[in-house]
Amino acid sequence: MRMGTDVLSLRIDHDLLERLREHAAKRGMSVQDYVVRTLMRDDFDQRFQTAVEETERFYGVT
């Protein structure tokens, strides 16, 4: 597994950027940290949901 960082550049709407700034500021975070944390949380949520669904299929839960 490769460790390190890469750069992702995004072009986003001004209104969206302002909303991101507001959300980040409420949490005392930079916009970059807020976006990364949100993406990581979403990724975890998706992986967790997949694990739950696979467990339910394994045990035959509907």
Find the distance separating the first CA and the last CA of the chain, reported in whole Å.
36
Contact 21, 31 (CB under 8 A): yes
Whole-prediction pTM: 0.67
User: For residue range 21-49, what is the model confidence (pLDDT) as tens digits?
Assistant: 999 999 999 999 999 899 888 888 888 88
Contact 17, 31 (CB under 8 A): yes
Percent of the chain whose predicted confidence (pLDDT) is above 90 = 44
* Tokens found for residue 34: 């807020």
With DSSP H G I counted as helix, E B as strand and the rest as coil, what are the percentages for the chain, rounded to 5?
A: 70, 0, 30
Strands (E), 1-62: none
* Tokens found for residue 37: 């944390």
